[in-house]
Amino acid sequence: MTATVIDGRAIAADIRAAAAAEASRLAEAGWAPRLVSISVGDVAAAELYVRNQQRQAEASGVAFEARNYPEDISLEQLIGVVRGLNADPRVNGIIIQRPLPGHIPVKALQKTVHPLKDVEGMHPASIGNIVYNDLTLGPCTAVAAVEILKTLPLKLEGLDVTVIGHSEIVGKPIAFLMMGLGATVTVCHHMTRQVSVHSRRADAVFVAVGKPGLVTGEMLKPGAALIDIGINQVDGPDGPRVVGDADFESCREVAGWITPVPGGVGPVTVSILMKNAVMATRLQMEHYTASFAAAE
């Protein structure tokens, strides 16, 4: 028996449809969701992501504006741009595209984005809310990975989960999200002595490290779910191709379910971004309505 390959595109379509329905209701109330994407300098590295986001936004009923600024823009100027967008009630969400020039630290911009417009879920407040199981605007990739697991016929309470990778925006949030769902979670990182000891006993494994082929079939418990979040470009006989952090073929022979790369977590991540954009719009509508009511 080989693993069931999880169709991330189908899961994403369901999330996107729900977001589009809510966006339509908001538009009828005069609050059509609108996203602004910010990129700096040469956009070639981010161009594919921006195009994909724009296409998904249109399918979700979300207006999308891509802005590109010169590479020599200063951090102070860019912070001013973000603050201007924070203050603009016509803008409901802000996306900071990576990579950025070396003199622009991404964390400084993420901290500048107002939490109510943080559709990427990367503001420290958004990350911190996960500790309290508040997923109002959670980090997109982490939420997407967990949403995929939730579609499987597994009882999450008491599930043994191993997370390989402990980044602030993927690995750690996944761990907190799964604990919030009642799972027992082990987090492995570059100082973990024997990752396979932990992964072999897990009912579900998440991997987000950025190392192609890191997880192999012999590292998995038979029938386990494998959620591969890695995105790596490797050279193949027919040219460059994109692969995950798992050796797909060997893992497929052991796992019960597995996400492909591409076509797994990626599409769901973008759909969560659109879901967040719509939620952010609703939160802002409620905020402004309450403020006007209080002023009367």
Q: What is the pLDDT of residues 15-58, one digit of tens each?
A: 999 999 999 999 999 999 999 999 999 877 778 889 999 999 99
Task: Say what the pLDDT of residue 132 is.
Answer: 87
Cβ 159 vs Cβ 150: under 8 Å:
no
Q: What is the pLDDT of residues 110-147, one digit of tens each?
A: 999 999 999 999 999 999 999 888 888 999 999 999 99
- Determine the Cα angle at 265 with ends 46 and 45, to 5°: 10
Q: Give yes or no for residue 289 having a pLDDT over 70.
A: yes
Task: Say what the pLDDT of residue 296 is.
Answer: 67
Q: Which uninterrupted H or E stretch holds 257?
A: strand 257-258
Distance CA 230, CA 212 (A): 8
Dihedral angle computed from the Cα positions of residues 191, 133, 107 and 206, in that order, rounded to the nearest 10 degrees: 40
Q: Alpha helices of 88-202 — where are they, by DSSP H?
A: 106-112, 124-129, 140-150, 171-180, 195-199
Q: Which residues does 235 contact at the CB level (< 8 Å), separation at least 6?
A: 241
Q: What is the mean pLDDT of residues 159-163?
A: 98
Half-sphere exposure of 95 (CA within 13 A, CB side): 26
**pTM listed for this prediction:** 0.94
Q: How confident is the model at residue 153 (pLDDT cuts 50, 70, 90)?
A: very high
Most confident range, picked from 10-19, 49-58, 231-240: 10-19
Q: Alpha helices of 151-264 — where are they, by DSSP H?
A: 171-180, 195-199, 248-252
Q: Give yes or no for residue 213 having a pLDDT over 90.
A: yes
Distance CA 163, CA 167 (A): 10
Most confident range, picked from 125-129, 251-255, 287-291: 251-255
Burial 86-121 (b: 16+ CB within 10 A, else e): eeeeebbbbbbbeebeeebeeeebbbbbbbbbbbbb
Q: How confident is the model at residue 227 (pLDDT cuts 50, 70, 90)?
A: very high
For residue 126, what are its two tokens?
């958004």
Of the candidate ranges 5-14, 98-107, 203-212, the one whose mean pLDDT is the lowest: 98-107
Q: How far is residue 146 from each of residues 68, 156, 237, 254, 283, measured CA to CA in Å?
A: 32, 10, 34, 21, 23
Q: How confident is the model at residue 271 (pLDDT cuts 50, 70, 90)?
A: very high
Task: Say what the pLDDT of residue 46 is.
Answer: 78
Q: Alpha helices of the chain — where are they, by DSSP H?
A: 8-28, 44-59, 75-87, 106-112, 124-129, 140-150, 171-180, 195-199, 248-252, 265-295
% residues pLDDT > 70 (the chain): 100
**Which domains does the chain carry?**
29-114 (3.40.50.10860), 139-266 (3.40.50.720)
